Structure 1
Amino acid sequence: MSASAASSNTPTAQKLLLDCDTGIDDTLALLYLLAHPSVELAAVLSTAGNVPVAEVDANNRALLELCGRDDIEVCRGADGPLAIELRTCEDTHGPYGLGYADRPASTAPSAGRPDRDAADAWIEITRDRPGELVGLVVGPCTNLALAIRRDPDLPTRLKRLVIMGGSFVHPGNTTPVAEWNVLVDPEAAHEVFTAFGTDGAPQPIVCGLQLTEQIAFTPEHLTRLAELAGSTPIELATAEDDHGRRSVSDNRVIALLTDALRFYFEFHHSVGEGYRAHVHDPFAAAVAIDPGIVQTRPAVVDVELDGSLTRGMTVADEGGFWGRPANAQIADRTDVDAFFDDLLSRLATLARRIG
C-alpha cells in the first residue's frame, strides 16, 4: 500500500473533495495532495475551464493512475458554465492542459460509480460524511453551484471550503478586474458565495490573485525539486531555451512537471511576467490542508454579473455597506518560502516513490 493510501486510515487524515479544471497548476495541486500523508482524497471532480471537461477528466484519471491511486473516484462535471459559452485557455496550459508533457497512459477504470456526475458526487459524498469533508475548488465553481441548486443544504455539511478565485484590490489576470476561474462562470461563483457563510454553512477561505500571484514557481525551484527527487540529469530551464524543449529526466514525475512547467514559464514570459509561473492551485491545496498557513480577513464577497467593463469582478464589502453578514474569509498573507519548502519536499517524495 502506498504512503498516501495508508494515511487515509489514520484518524488525522484530512478528508478532501477536489474540484479542478486540470491544467498545469491543478496538476501540481493534485500531485501535492496525493503526496501528502495527512490527506485522504474522497474524490476528484472534473470541471471545464482551462481545457474542455473531457481533457480535464482524462488528465485526472491519468495522473491518479501514474501515482498508483486509481482507487480514487473521478467524476466528470458539466461541459460548460451555467449561463454562457465555455472559454478555455490552451495558450496558457497547452493543447490538453499539461503544457509540453505527454499525458501518462491510463487504462484502469475509475473507482466508484461510472454514472455519477460531479454535482451528484458533491451531494452524495457530503451526505455520507456530514461535517467531515473539506471542499477545495481550484477551477470554475460550476459543479458546486449545480450541486447546491439540487441540494441547498449541501453547504452546511462541509467542514470547510477553500476556493482559488477572484482578485481583491489587485488587477485581474483575464480582464483588468477579473480572475480566470471566476470569469469562466461568474454566475456559478455568485451562487456559491451567496450560499455560504450563513445558516450553519462555513465561510469559504478565498485565495485570490492578490496572494496567489506571490506564489511564483521559478526554474530554480524546478531544479531544486529534481535534486531532492534524485532525478538525473539535473536540468535548468532558461528563457533562452528553444520553445518546446523536452526533459530528459530519468524520473517520470520530474519529466512530466518539467515539460508542463516549461510551457507555463514560456507563457508567463510572453506576457511580460518573467520566466516563472504563478502556481495558484497548489497553494490553495495547502490552505485546504492547513488553514493556519494564511492570515485572513472577513468580508462579504459577491461577483459582478452585469457590468460591461467589470463582469466577473469579485467585490468585497469589508465596511458593512451592504448590511449583510460576512460570507467569506479572504486569504491575506502567508510565508511563501515555507510553502515552497513543503511543496517541493512532498513532490520529491512522490517522485522518488514512483520513479
Structure 2
Amino acid sequence: MKSARGGMMAAKNVLFFGDFGIDDIVALMYGYYDDQINIIGIVADYGNVSKQTAINSARYLNFLTKTVDIPIIGGAARPLTGENPVFYPEIHGVQGFGPLAHEFDSSGEEFENFELIRSLIIQYNYNLTIVNVGRLTSLATAFVLYPTVMGMVKEIFVMGGAFLYPGNVTPIAEANFYGDPFAANLVMTLAEKVTIFPLNVTNYAIIPPEKIQDLDQYYRENNDEVGKLLKPMIDYYTSFYKKNTPEIAGGPIHDLLTLWGVGNQGAVTLVEKPVRIIFEPGDARGQSIADFRPYQKLADYPIHRIAIKFNYDVFLNDFLKVMKR
C-alpha cells in the first residue's frame, strides 16, 4: 500500500474506543479516509454522550461511509467510580454531531458484545493497535477480564491527561482521566508503554477555519455526504471554545491528533517517563503525574510514552491531503 506521505507502508489495524463527541467523529472520519489506517472495530462508550447515543452515532457513521461490516461493540455505560456520567451537549451536540441530527436508533438491537474485543485481539495476533480517545472504562475492563489476551495488543494510544499543564475540567485534570480516574490509573498500571497524547499537545491540533471552508467546498463540489458533516460540526465545536477563550483560532481536535499519531510517530516527539494517575477524591482527582526530573533514578511508577510536541505543518498538510482522498 502506498502511503500518503510517500513510500510503502502496511496499514495499521486499529480497534477504536470512543465516546463519540465531535473530535471522536472527526478522528474516525480521518481513519476511514486514510489508507494507512484499517479500522477493524469500534467500541462505543459513554462520555461526551451516553453509551446508547454513541452506539447510534457509530452505526450512522458506518452507514454513511459504507463500512457497515465493521463491528460495533457496546462499551461501558458508566465509570468504575459508580457515579452517573455527565454529558456535554454544549460542546458536542445532543448526538455528538454538533448541530446535526440523525434518526438511527439501536435501542432494540443487541450490542452487549464485549467478548468481541477479545476475539478481535486474538484474530489480529500481535498486529493490532488500540486507540482510546474517550473515558478509559472499557479499556480498563478489558485488562481486568482478559489480562493475557491484552498482552497480544501491539500498541495502545490514549488521548488523556495534562502534564505540567492546565486541565480542561479542573485546574489540573483532563476530562478523560477525570471522568473515570480509577480506570485511567488501572490502565496505566497494567498496560505496558502506553503512548499518551495529553492536552499539552492536543490543544494545538487546530484546523484553521479557512482550511475547513476549502474542504467543505471540495466536498460539495464532489457531493461527498460524509465530508459535508465536517464544517457544521467543527463550526459548532469552535463556537464553544471561543466562548471560553475568544482568542483561540479554532476548536482543538484532540482525538484526531491521537489517531493521526499512530501512523506518524516520526513527526511526534515522545518521551518515556514514569506516570501515575490520582484517583482519590478531592482537588487532585484525575491529575496525571509524570516524573520529568533530570535525575538518574525517577519515581517508581510504570513507564509510558508521552507526546510533548508534534510537527504541526506535517499534521495539517497530511490531514488536508487525506481528507481529499
Q: Same fold (TM over 0.5)?
A: yes
Secondary structure in 2 matching 1:163: strand
Paired position in structure 2 for 1:117: 113
1:304 Cα offset (Å): 0.7
CA distance in 1, matches of 2:215, 2:251: 15
8 Å CA contact 2:17, 2:134 repeated in 1 = yes
- Which among 259, 265, 272 is matched to residue 298 of structure 1? 272
What TM-score do you get using the length of structure 2 for normalisation?
0.90
Paired position in structure 2 for 1:167: 162
1:25-104 alignment, distance < 5 Å: 25-83=23-81, 84-103=83-102
Q: Any gaps of 5 or more consecutive residues in structure 2?
A: 2-7
Structure 1 residues 55 and 105: alpha-carbon distance in aligned structure 2, compared to 1, 3 A threshold: closer
Structure 1 residues 116 and 289: alpha-carbon distance in aligned structure 2, compared to 1, 3 A threshold: farther
Q: CA-to-partner distance for each residue in 1:260-289, whole Å, 9 max, x for gaps?
A: 111101101111253511100111011122
2:231 maps to 1:231: no
Paired position in structure 2 for 1:257: 230
8 Å CA contact 2:189, 2:302 repeated in 1 = no
Paired position in structure 2 for 1:243: none
2:151 maps to 1:156: yes
8 Å CA contact 2:100, 2:233 repeated in 1 = yes
Letter in 1 for 2:119: E
1:105 Cα offset (Å): 5.7
1:190-201 alignment, distance < 5 Å: 190-197=185-192
Paired position in structure 1 for 2:320: 344
1:310 Cα offset (Å): 1.1
Paired position in structure 2 for 1:222: 212
Paired position in structure 2 for 1:286: 260
2:305 maps to 1:329: yes
Structure 1 residues 230 and 54: alpha-carbon distance in aligned structure 2, compared to 1, 3 A threshold: closer
Paired position in structure 1 for 2:134: 139
CA distance in 1, matches of 2:136, 2:302: 22
8 Å CA contact 1:101, 1:257 repeated in 2 = no
Structure 1 residues 79 and 157: alpha-carbon distance in aligned structure 2, compared to 1, 3 A threshold: same
Structure 1 residues 38 and 85: alpha-carbon distance in aligned structure 2, compared to 1, 3 A threshold: same
Structure 1 residues 106 and 323: alpha-carbon distance in aligned structure 2, compared to 1, 3 A threshold: closer
CA distance in 2, matches of 1:329, 1:127: 25
8 Å CA contact 2:121, 2:150 repeated in 1 = no
8 Å CA contact 1:225, 1:345 repeated in 2 = no
Percent identical residues: 25
8 Å CA contact 2:99, 2:232 repeated in 1 = yes
CA distance in 1, matches of 2:302, 2:279: 21
Q: Any gaps of 5 or more consecutive residues in structure 1?
A: 4-9, 198-202, 233-248, 350-355
1:116 Cα offset (Å): 4.9
Structure 1 residues 139 and 230: alpha-carbon distance in aligned structure 2, compared to 1, 3 A threshold: closer
Aligned residues between the structures: 313
Secondary structure in 2 matching 1:69: coil
Q: CA-to-partner distance for each residue in 1:272-314, whole Å, 9 max, x for gaps?
A: 2535111001110111223222110111111111251110111
Paired position in structure 2 for 1:239: none
1:39 Cα offset (Å): 2.0
Structure 1 residues 172 and 324: alpha-carbon distance in aligned structure 2, compared to 1, 3 A threshold: closer
Q: CA-to-partner distance for each residue in 1:131-165, whole Å, 9 max, x for gaps?
A: 11000000011111111111122332111110001
8 Å CA contact 1:211, 1:333 repeated in 2 = yes
4+ aligned runs moved over 4 Å, structure 1:
104-107
Structure 1 residues 106 and 38: alpha-carbon distance in aligned structure 2, compared to 1, 3 A threshold: farther
What TM-score do you get using the length of structure 1 for normalisation?
0.82
8 Å CA contact 2:17, 2:132 repeated in 1 = yes
8 Å CA contact 1:268, 1:275 repeated in 2 = no
CA distance in 2, matches of 1:334, 1:121: 34
8 Å CA contact 1:266, 1:275 repeated in 2 = no
8 Å CA contact 1:173, 1:179 repeated in 2 = yes
CA distance in 1, matches of 2:300, 2:13: 34
Secondary structure in 1 matching 2:255: helix
8 Å CA contact 1:93, 1:99 repeated in 2 = yes
Letter in 2 for 1:322: A
